[in-house]
Amino acid sequence: MNPLLQVTDLQTHFFTRDGVAKAVDGVSFTLEKGQVLGLVGESGSGKSVTGFSILGLVDPPGRITGGQILFDGTDLVAGGEPALRHLRGKRIAMIFQDPMMTLNPVLRIDTQMVETVRAHEDVSHAEALRRAREALVQVGISPPDERLKSYPHQFSGGMRQRVAIAIALLHKPDLIIADEPTTALDVTIQAQILSELQTLCATSGTALIWITHDLAVVSGLADRLAVMYAGRIIEEGPTAEVIARPRHPYTRGLIDSVPRGKRHGAMLTQIKGMTPSLLKLPKGCKFMPRCPRADRVCEAEPSLVPLTSERSVRCFHPHDDAEEVLQP
């Protein structure tokens, strides 16, 4: 059987005045039905652009210049805008980072939900409204009838993100792409939204791509992790294994820089240097200038090499499988 989503050698480039920024440069991954993939990286690593590329929502001056995105067997890159529009919101939904900005401030919640239903299904306004109400109940917003008649600014950030999730759930999609959906929220709300979304996806069998810079958030949620750096996936594998035994020096650096409870008082390690500009990437391994393990070999470009059937890494000097990081 086909995987739900198969991305192969995706290239998304931004053509700026100062040169071409290869925001996504040869990204490949697969996602099975109902699976949760954590797409992790710092800002500028290309993780959000990857998400937008799947839905064909990359704004100029950026555009997809190569590769294939097979969704349930059809190529979204070759299909173009009309094909994409019928998938967006229907079979692939997206949740954005800042809930304060994603709902239109001058339209009521019911308008924004009903239009989503009726964009894909020829149903009556009343039926669409009933569905909207149901979706609000599903994400725990009450009283739904009163809330439907409200405007976004009458909601808190967490409530707005719930509304956005309800909109994403309206058509029971096969895949939800969530772009840092909890980053802009308070910590307590973060945890609520996180667990609710997890439950909703698990019960409906929806696959999820969770884009984040926060390893701690995604480690309890994702089945698999893909770590991105400078537009490339540099390590991929089952979440537990990647967290427990990171092979790439960058992944290891990321995990070491997360504070953990049991090591109270211990120094946090940090990755030295900064993410490189996409316009001035180093030759060879993009992480080389910041890597403690780099040597002359790294001046060549490493490729993503499978280590086991489940895991792969893009590094000439990966950490040994036995080097386990300290667990909390």
Shortest separation between residue 95's beta carbon and another protein, angstroms: 9
Per rule CB under 8 A, is residue 57 in the interface with another protein? yes
Q: What DSSP element (H or E) covers 219?
A: helix 215-219
According to DSSP, the β-strands at 92-95 and 175-179 are parallel
CA torsion, points 184, 189, 190, 196, in degrees to nearest 10?
-130
From candidates 38, 67, 89, 158, binder to another protein by CB under 8 A: 89
Per rule CB under 8 A, is residue 20 in the interface with another protein? no
Shortest separation between residue 4's beta carbon and another protein, angstroms: 18
Task: Determine the straight-line distance between the first and last CA of the chain, rounded to whole angstroms.
Answer: 38
Comparing CB distances to another protein, the nearer of 70 and 168 is: 168
Reading the block at residue 88, the tokens are 């967006």
Shortest separation between residue 260's beta carbon and another protein, angstroms: 27
Q: How far apart are CA 287 and CA 310, in angstroms?
A: 23
Among 114-122, 250-258, 308-316, 320-328, the segment contacting another protein (CB under 8 A): 114-122
Among 98-106, 189-197, 234-242, 318-326, the segment contacting another protein (CB under 8 A): 98-106
63 strand-pairing partners: 13
From candidates 20, 202, 279, 326, binder to another protein by CB under 8 A: 279
From candidates 69, 77, 103, 243, binder to another protein by CB under 8 A: 103
CA–CA distances in Å: residue 239 to residues 94, 135, 221, 246: 22, 30, 9, 10
CA–CA distances in Å: residue 293 to residues 18, 206, 245, 316: 32, 40, 16, 9
What is the contact surface with another protein in residues (CB under 8 A)? 14, 16, 21, 23, 43-44, 47-49, 55, 57, 59, 85-90, 93-94, 96, 98, 101-108, 111, 115-116, 119-120, 151, 153-154, 164, 167, 273-280
